[in-house]
Structures are given as C-alpha cells and as structure tokens.
Amino acid sequence: MGKKAWQYSKLDVSVTKRFKKIGNLGEYLAGILLLENGFKNIRNLNKEYSSNTADFDFTAERNGVNYAISVKARNKYETRNKYENSTAGQKLNSRYKLTDDPIKFSEEAKLRYRGVAAWVAISLEIDKGVFSAYFGKLSDLSGNQKGINMSENAKRNYEQLAFSK
C-alpha cells in the first residue's frame, strides 16, 4: 500500500512548534490529573531521562498496579487533527495515534518500566480554554490498538479524568 499524501509533506517550523506546545500542555495536565485521580509515585520520564522518551511519558501506581503511561493531546478543533482521509473521502478523525506496534509497546512497558501499558488522552479546546481527559490501558482498546478511539461511544468505556461541557 502506498503512502498517503500527508506522509510526503513536511511540516513548517510554526506547525511543529505548535504541536510541541500542545504536547507539553498535555503532559503538564496529565501530571496534575494523575495525582488528582489517586495515582501515586508519579514519575515524569521526560524530565528524568530526556526531553522526549520514545513511547512513555509517565510511570505511576494506583491500587497496587504500576503503569507506564503515554500522553496524547490534541486540539479538538484544529483542522489538521480534526479530519483524516479515507477511501470514502474526508471523515472526522476520531483516533489519537498511540503506537505503530502494540505488542512492542506492551512489552516495553512490562520490561523497561515494570508496568502495564496505559495512556492518557486529552482533548483540548484551546479557543474555549477547556479540555477533557481520559485514562485507559492498552488492553482496554478494542480492535486496532495502534490508536485511541475518541468517538463518543468509545469514550464511554474509558475512565474520565476531567470533563468540560
């Protein structure tokens, strides 16, 4: 299968800086939300090891379970993230990419961080100054575990860390 058109394009500096700011905001919020939702021994891997670890951003523990957590944040109304191209034409993008290889992702969580592979997905509405956030394990994702399904139906199955109306 050939590459999609967007895979050939290069992002200009302003776009990559904006994506980095959204990612940093997401990680900042995730750290606070994990603490507020009963997680303990929270470690920010990006601060401890490097400015950007490969797959995981935090480790944390709750109810005796250790987690290796990847944070994904998107500006809900940003055109670049809102739509994806499919064979049926342009459709609403309801998935946040998590990994290219779910098996490797799970193994890294287990072997490197002695935890369960997990994620925090944050849907920002920057223009309104609000956001919603969800927590789940890789094993909670049905079907394609390469991404977090953020459809309204799928979000009902995730733990809600924060919600804005």
Contact residues for 77 (Cβ-Cβ < 8 A; gap 6+): 125, 126, 127
Q: What is the pLDDT of residue 112?
A: 93
d(CA 93, CA 95): 6
d(CA 157, CA 150): 10
Question: Contact at 8 Å (CB) between 75 and 53?
Answer: no
Q: What is the pLDDT of residue 6?
A: 42
Region of residue 61 (phi > 0: left; psi between -120 and 50: alpha; otherwise: beta): beta
Per-residue pLDDT of the chain (165 residues), as tens digits, is 444 444 444 556 666 677 778 888 999 999 999 999 999 999 999 887 665 567 899 999 999 999 999 999 998 765 444 444 445 554 455 789 999 999 999 999 999 999 999 999 999 888 888 899 999 999 999 888 999 999 889 999 999 999 875
Q: What is the pLDDT of residue 53?
A: 63
d(CA 9, CA 5): 7
Q: What does the block give as tokens for 65?
A: 């379970």
Instruction: Of 112, 35, 28, 101, give the one whose Cα is nearest residue 71.
Output: 28
Q: What is the pLDDT of residue 114?
A: 97
d(CA 150, CA 121): 8
Read off the pTM.
Answer: 0.82
Region of residue 105 (phi > 0: left; psi between -120 and 50: alpha; otherwise: beta): alpha
